[in-house]
Copies of this chain bind each other. A is one copy, B any other.
Amino acid sequence: MNLLTFDNPAFRYFAVTAVLMIVKMMSQGWITVFRMVKVNGGFRYPEDAKQSLANPHPSPEQLLPNEYVERSRRMHQNDVENIPLFLFVGLLYVCTAPSDVAALGMFSVYVLSRFAHFYVVLTARSHEARATLWTVGSVIIYVMAGTVIWDVLRY
């Protein structure tokens, strides 16, 4: 049976949540760009501190780390460490033919935990809130991983 087709509701749920996560992670790059423009600094490439159309008054200080920009880079790094794992384990999880409700629950809780994590880090809330939300996403990845192994070992 072919489960990786949009005729399968679980795969449609997965596709929507996967796209939300892809758009979120791609947009984190734009948030970093926005912040570099706003503070006119936090650059990393030496050529960015040279005179150009986008930088008419360059200075060497533009290459110093800027916490406002670095926060967005750390958020991006957190995406890089988590989102590709969700995308891949979610795809394999769909191959275990979960019930539509289970799939919808798994994917939507993950996405909600990540968007809440995004908000909490962006606004520099407490470490406890950040850690809790990251743990929720992490547990969902482990549960989906376990489900895949369990399903495969039955063959």
Contact = CB atoms under 8 A, between A and B. Distances in A.
A76 B29 CA distance: 15
A54 to B, nearest CB: 6
A89 B22 contact: yes
B55 A15 contact: no
Contacts of A128: 52-54
A36 to B, nearest CB: 10
State how many copies of this chain the complex holds: 3
A54 B130 CA distance: 12
Contacts of A138: 26, 29-30
A47 B127 contact: yes
A46 B1 contact: no
A145 to B, nearest CB: 5
A127 B55 contact: yes
Contacts of A155: 6, 12
Contacts of A84: 80, 84, 87-88
Interface in A27-76: 29-30, 33, 44-48, 50, 52-55, 67, 71, 74, 76
A12 to B, nearest CB: 5
A18 interface: yes
A67 B53 contact: no
